[in-house]
Amino acid sequence: MGTMLARFVAMALPLAGCCETTHHTALVDLEGRPITEPVGGDAGTSDAAAAGALDCQALCLQPIIGRCLSWEIESCERADPAGGAVTCRYVDTQCPDILPLPRTVCGRRTHGAGPATALGDDALGRALAHMAALEAASIPAFARLARELAAHHAPLSLIRAAERARRDEVRHAATMRGLAQARGGSVGRVTGRAVRGVRPLAELAIENAREGCVRETWGAAVARFQAAGAADPALRRAMGVSARDEARHAALAWRVHRWALSRLDEPARRECARALRDEAASLRRELDGCFDDATARALGVPTGAAARALASAIDGALWGRA
Ligand SMILES: [Fe+2]
Ligand SMILES: [Fe+2]
């Protein structure tokens, strides 16, 4: 990861000239669940030996879900050899002419599988590569959703819809990868541990609330903006297809939400409602920091007041009512 990060920063610097780098750390447990929020400050030196075989990409992803794509996982190490905590180190490289896209412009992710790395000399190519990476990360997320819905005896219509969504994401990832490559962007493999096993329904429902009801609903709305407003006709066409599919994925998330709530007890239902509210709040916090850039305009994503108005409209219609 350090090598990849060094390449990212090395490519960014000549483009921008005045990039500003800040470091942050957060504590997670051995399952990657955040213990603390990322806090700024000198990251100090990383002890590679202490890191051992830790999968930093998988362990350290959760605390930065919702952050701009300028955040990268730098390293991780055991906070206490006898304990259950891992210190994750992050670097945030803000460059005036490099788009800090939100992490979930379009894409559903699942705990334990991180998005692929995205590289490229061209800021737009790299932004497209980030989008392709998020699409690729949605593939294991829907595969897992379908498998876990089946294990929890969900209606067949939900399982089939999740399988169809996985196939959609395979196409989205390939299309976005092609658009990124045409602009010099490149995408690595989806990172992280294989996501096996079946989680309790409450855990599935909370992830679905965050990644589906909030993030895919937002992604579907943004995709509609891009289908109308992206500068490149090929991107407009791709986002037109994506907007239709993502709207279906968002609707699936809400169907899964309603079905799961009907099966869960009151404390678990409250947890789901809290997760949904927290994720919507997290998304709203991203808007000011991520949507005011020339590359965002090239992509056709809503910026500034338009983004806030869109989030408010969705909040009033969906998130705030759930
Ligand atoms: Fe997608
Ligand atoms: Fe999707």
Look at residue 17 and tell me whether its pLDDT is greater than 70. no
The 10s digit of each residue's pLDDT in 112-167 is 666 666 677 777 888 888 888 888 889 999 999 999 999 999 999 999 999 999 99
Higher pLDDT, 188 or 23: 23
For the segment 43-47, the average pLDDT, to the nearest whole number, is 48
Average pLDDT of the residues of the chain = 80
CA of 155 to the centre of ligand 2 (A): 20
Q: Are 119 and 56 found together in one domain?
A: no
Q: Are 129 and 75 found together in one domain?
A: no
- Model pTM? 0.70
CA of 270 to the centre of ligand 1 (A): 29
Which of the four pLDDT bands, split at 50, 70 and 90, describes residue 255?
A: very high
Give the number of whichever ligand sits closest to the CA of residue 215: 2
Q: Are 26 and 138 found together in one domain?
A: no
Which of the four pLDDT bands, split at 50, 70 and 90, describes residue 239?
A: very high
CA of 245 to the centre of ligand 2 (A): 7
CA of 48 to the centre of ligand 2 (A): 36
Q: Are 253 and 110 found together in one domain?
A: yes
Look at residue 265 and tell me whether its pLDDT is greater than 60. yes
Say what the pLDDT of residue 55 is: 78
Q: Are 238 and 284 found together in one domain?
A: yes
CA of 86 to the centre of ligand 2 (A): 31
Domain of residue 220: give its range. 103-322
Say what the pLDDT of residue 59 is: 80
Indicate the residue among 49, 68, 98 that finishes a domain.
98
Give the chain as a 3 state SS string.
CHHHHHHHHHHHHHHHCCCEEEEEEEEEECCCCECCCCEECCCCCCCHHHHCCCCHHHHCCHHHCCCECCEEEEEEEECCCCCCEEEEEEEEEECCCCCCCECCCCCCCECCEECCCEEECCHHHHHHHHHHHHHHHHHHHHHHHHHHHHHCCCCHHHHHHHHHHHHHHHHHHHHHHHHHHHCCEEECCCEECCCCCCCCHHHHHHHHHHHHHHHHHHHHHHHHHHHHHCCCHHHHHHHHHHHHHHHHHHHHHHHHHHHHHHHCCHHHHHHHHHHHHHHHHHHHHHHHHHCCCHHHHHHCCCCHHHHHHHHHHHHHHCHHHC
Report the percent of the chain where pLDDT is more than 70: 76
CA of 284 to the centre of ligand 1 (A): 21
CA of 52 to the centre of ligand 1 (A): 34
CA of 80 to the centre of ligand 2 (A): 38
Say what the pLDDT of residue 158 is: 97
Give the number of whichever ligand sits closest to the CA of residue 223: 1
CA of 104 to the centre of ligand 2 (A): 10
Q: Are 31 and 55 found together in one domain?
A: yes
Higher pLDDT, 321 or 214: 214
Reading phi first (left if > 0) and then psi (alpha if -120 to 50, else beta), residue 162 is in alpha
Say what the pLDDT of residue 97 is: 41
Which of the four pLDDT bands, split at 50, 70 and 90, describes residue 8?
A: very low
Q: Are 13 and 138 found together in one domain?
A: no
Range with top average pLDDT, 26-30, 69-73, 97-101, 192-196? 26-30
Say what the pLDDT of residue 52 is: 58
143, 159 in Cβ contact below 8 A? Answer: no
Which of the four pLDDT bands, split at 50, 70 and 90, describes residue 21?
A: confident
91, 23 in Cβ contact below 8 A? Answer: yes
Flag the least confident range among 77-86, 228-237, 286-295: 286-295
Q: Are 251 and 145 found together in one domain?
A: yes
Indicate the residue among 42, 70, 98 that finishes a domain.
98
Say what the pLDDT of residue 258 is: 97
Give the number of whichever ligand sits closest to the CA of residue 136: 1
Q: Are 62 and 155 found together in one domain?
A: no
Q: Are 120 and 220 found together in one domain?
A: yes
Q: Are 203 and 124 found together in one domain?
A: yes
CA of 316 to the centre of ligand 2 (A): 22
Higher pLDDT, 297 or 44: 297
CA of 261 to the centre of ligand 1 (A): 25
The 10s digit of each residue's pLDDT in 197-233 is 899 999 999 999 999 999 999 999 989 989 999 999 9
- Residue where the block lists tokens 């300028």: 70
For the segment 180-209, the average pLDDT, to the nearest whole number, is 84
Look at residue 15 and tell me whether its pLDDT is greater than 50. no
Kind of pairing between the strands at 118-120 and 85-94:
unpaired
Indicate the residue among 63, 98, 133 that finishes a domain.
98
Q: Are 192 and 304 found together in one domain?
A: yes
CA of 107 to the centre of ligand 1 (A): 5
Give the number of whichever ligand sits closest to the CA of residue 108: 2
Give the number of whichever ligand sits closest to the CA of residue 247: 2
